[in-house]
Amino acid sequence: MNILDVVTPCSKATANHRKSFATDGEIINTLLKHNMSGLYRPVEVCKLLDTMEILDRSLNDSNFRKLMKIRNHRVHDFVANAIDLCEPMKVFVCSDKEEDISYIRKTAVARGEETELANPNHTVHFDGFYDQARDKERTVYLVPKSESLGDQLFQMDRQEGLDMVKRRLKGSMHNKKLVVRFFCLGPVDSPFSVPCVQITDSFYVAHSEDLLYRQGYEYFKKLPNDAEIFWMLHSSGKLVHATSIDWDKRGVAIDYKENTVYSVNTQYAGNTIGLKKLALRLAIRKADREDWLAEHMFLMAVHGPDERKTYFTGAFPSGCGKTSTSMVPGATIVGDDIAYLKTIDDEIRGVNVESGIFGIIRSVSQESDPIIWNVLHSDRPAIFSNVLVHDGVPYWLDDGRETPKRGVNHSGIWYEGKVDANGEEILPSHKNARYTIKLEGLPNLDDGLDKPNGVPIGGIIYGGRDPDTWVPVQQSFSWAHGVITMGASLESETTAATLGKSGVRKFQPFSNMDFVSIPLGDYIQNHLHFGEFVPKAPRIFAVNYFLKDDGGNYLNAKEDKRVWLQWMDLRIHKEADAIRTPTGYIPLYSDLKRLFETHLGKVYSEEDYETQFAVRVPELIAKIVRIREIYQDSVENVPDILYRLLDEQQERLEQARAKFGDIISPVQFL
């Protein structure tokens, strides 16, 4: 059989295309083998050749050969379809080689997407003035007509959504270069691995992913054709001064039937870096099918007595102390944002799916976050976004330094007193300004980062911004009690990490509400089942770093979280007693007094203890009422145990109020 016999029936096959094919015997042999074995019907062979024709005319020889070394024909199709839709001027296929990765950063600077700072290893990126956070309102799930994800998720008809995506992406890369990236979520070649393809026209996005994720080009070369892959296609759209100008047509669409995320007319990393929260939405569906959990969680190790390490995961909404908890002095970090949890050898183990940090920089100071502060002032590579730059030095809110009176920020040239179109003052740095760094080389990096089977999880922590209800730390009575009253009942005040008004109390179950891509009732049932039959399930805890007094002052210092973590470690290893309250177990004063002195060198008064750990009955009951009504009114297939455990908790609170009053000192429960 001659290659021309296969090519001729295909309308898009040109003479140049056939000539190019004749230079690569391996590709020809593969196609002929497929055709002769009957693996593909003639129409499928034509599709393969049409794909190759697009790639052949769009890629130069070097990039064509790099792509062809990946034998997965679905990768070829995805790249060809993106080229056909977005119509880029050129295409760059990035391998794992240092020269390719270096080219990404250099081009981000050359195109003005990033600007080098006084430290030559640091750059700054500015998103558009109105493109500063995850846009939940324009993130939509594409759902077939016969399916529903529940009322809590924004969704539209799949075909209508795909048509909308294609209209917005059509020709969106004119005069730009399309970049093809290959990464792996989780350690490479492990039970947790998820291969990902990111296509983007933003070299800032591509550069950010080099700091945040494990390279995957070599891994892709070994992938079988039937491997499950996550696909991401992003275009910044029209640019002026290297920022997206059609932000009012910004959108993210998630086609979970094809494991594909589309993003257009935006540059903010939370909307564009497909491997982050966008891939989390796909991973939650994959976990649902395969009986594991994909969570918005940090992963870190608390170092306890006798050099013991206990691994914790923790779910906190953005801006609520998640990264700072994973980075507390004396602990070691595995990851600060997204974890996969699986049962391996009868224990729950976890991995950080990332290998870097995209963190909120506000309030990072030498005093409160010394590790991050030192990294950001070292020669380690870093990208700053939406900060104030003066004389090549980045500044951000609450950084402990005197803020310059002038500089450059996300609004352009900035000066003290500058206002926006509505007359509101523009702050020197955005509240949601960020830093992007690698984990590799951090002095507190745990040795479990790349272990193929992950690390054993001893505890799970839930926390949010709560000014008046939860105590600083408590432990659940059981796995189910923790899942329902702490995870599924989590609330938090909003922050600048998402668009909209800050300081509004929001329902945030498992700190994953923005990313849950299955019906919420099913998601809760998955959690209940996941730990139910594990011989040694992790203990579940709740924390609250944001409890305030009547004057609006915080009742705890930022560093107090070190003590709460040490107490949790003691509880897991049965080395500390606790007081049983209506909502969970809380510490004894004597234990906290010792821990504060040992780990912080502070005197912890009994008065502070009684104020912080008082059981605030009216607020706790009001919370139960709110949570119950949300589930009754807007969530389908809620497990019956949720209502039963909430009712039992309310009954315990009512009984305690009848005996002790509205605000109950913890010593009353001794």
- Considering Cα of 379, then 367, then 385, then 396, what sign does the dihedral take? negative
Q: Tell me 456's DSSP state.
A: E
**What confidence score (pLDDT) does residue 20 get?**
46
pLDDT value of residue 45:
63
Kindly state whether residues 312 and 416 are assigned to the same domain.
no
Please indicate, yes or no, if residue 124 is contained in any of the structural domains. no
Residues 345 and 366 in one domain: no
Are 328 and 242 part of one and the same domain?
A: no
In a domain, 20, yes or no: yes
Residues 345 and 363 in one domain: no
Q: Are residues 508 and 646 in the same domain?
A: yes
User: What CATH number is associated with residue 263?
Assistant: 3.40.449.10
- Per-residue pLDDT, 606: 97
How many residues are recorded in the chain? 670
CA distance 136 to 515: 9
Check residue 135 and give its pLDDT.
Answer: 81
pLDDT at 430: 95
Task: Give 8's Cβ-side CA count (13 Å radius).
Answer: 5
User: Residue 276 pLDDT more than 70?
Assistant: yes
Residue 339 has φ and ψ, to the nearest 5°, of -130, 145
Looking at residue 242, what is its pLDDT? Answer: 85
What's the whole-number mean pLDDT along residues 560-586?
A: 98
pLDDT tens digit sequence for 459-484: 999 999 999 999 999 999 999 999 99
Q: Do residues 604 and 487 both lie within one domain?
A: yes
Question: Under DSSP, is residue 234 helix (H, G, I), strand (E, B) or coil?
Answer: strand
Q: What is the pLDDT of residue 468?
A: 94
Is there a domain that residue 284 lies in? Answer: yes
- In this structure, the answer to whether residues 391 and 517 fall within a common structural domain is no
Residue 586, φ and ψ in degrees, nearest 5: -120, 165
Of the residues 438, 465, 489, which one is the last residue of a structural domain?
A: 438
What are the φ and ψ backbone dihedral angles of 169, each rounded to 5 degrees? Answer: -85, -20
Question: H or E stretch including 373?
Answer: helix 370-376
pTM of the model: 0.91
274 and 406 together in one domain: no
Least confident of 151-160, 518-527, 554-563, 586-595: 151-160
Instruction: State the average pLDDT over residues 620-628.
Output: 97
Say yes or no: 660 and 600 in one domain: yes
Per-residue confidence (pLDDT) for residue 298, from 0 to 100: 96
Q: Are 337 and 325 in contact (CB under 8 A)?
A: no
Compute the distance between CA of residue 54 and CA of residue 332 in angstroms, rounded to an integer. 48
The domain total for the chain is 4
For residue 234, give both structure tokens: 């992003």
Above 70 in pLDDT, residue 281? yes
Structural domain including 373 reads 357-438
Q: Among 625, 616, 605, which Cα is nearest to 656's?
A: 616
Sign, Cα dihedral of 88, 89, 94, 98: negative
Residue finishing a domain among 415, 438, 461: 438
Report yes or no on 419 lying in a domain: yes
Average pLDDT on 417-428 reads 94
CB atoms near residue 232 (< 10 Å): 27
Give the tens place of pLDDT for each residue, 358-368: 999 999 999 88
Kindly list the distances between the CA atom of residue 646 and the CA atoms of 484, 507, 583, 654, in Å, as whole numbers in the listed order: 8, 15, 10, 12
- C-alpha 370/C-alpha 365 separation (Å) is 7
Q: Are 288 and 281 in contact (CB under 8 A)?
A: no
In the set 86, 184, 196, 320, the catalytic residue is: 320
Q: Is residue 298 part of a domain?
A: yes
Task: Give, in degrees to the nearest 5, the angle at Cα 383 between 377 and 385.
Answer: 110
Asked whether residue 90 is domain-assigned, the answer is no
Q: Which tops the pLDDT comparison, 45 or 574? A: 574
Is the CB of residue 332 less than 8 Å from the CB of residue 445?
yes
Q: What are phi and psi of 228, to 5 degrees?
A: -80, 125
Mean pLDDT comparison of 91-95, 490-494, 633-637, highest-scoring range: 91-95
Give yes or no: residues 224 and 245 share one domain. yes
When pLDDT is cut at 50, 70 and 90, the band that residue 545 belongs to is very high
- Strands 139-143 and 155-157: what pairing? parallel
SS3 state at 193: coil
Q: Examine the fold and report which residue of 405, 438, 471 is the final residue of a domain before the chain moves on.
A: 438
Asked if the structure places residue 78 within a domain, the reply is no
Instruction: Give the pLDDT confidence score for residue 318 in this predicted structure.
Output: 78
**Does residue 274 lie in a domain region?**
yes
Amino acid at 322: K
CATH label of the domain that carries residue 428: 2.170.8.10
Other Cβ atoms within 10 Å of 74 Cβ, number: 16
Whole-number Å distance between alpha carbons of 558 and 18: 66
Written in H, E and C, the secondary structure of 80-99 is: HHHHHHHCCCEEEECCCCHH
Q: How confident is the model at residue 632 (pLDDT cuts 50, 70, 90)?
A: very high
Question: What six digits make up the tokens of 251?
Answer: 């959108």
pLDDT at 495: 61
Same domain, 400 and 469: no
320 is catalytic: yes
Residue 647 has pLDDT above 50, yes or no: yes
Q: What's the CA gap between 466 and 320, in Å, rounded?
A: 10
Are 416 and 502 in the same domain?
A: no
Query: Chain-wide mean pLDDT for the chain?
Result: 91
Of the candidates 507, 584, 509, 583, the residue with the CA atom closest to the CA atom of residue 539: 584
pLDDT tens digit string along 208-262? 999 999 999 999 999 988 899 999 999 999 988 888 888 888 889 999 999 999 9
Name the pLDDT band for 27 (thresholds 50, 70, 90): low
How far is 539 from 561, CA to CA, in rounded Å? 17
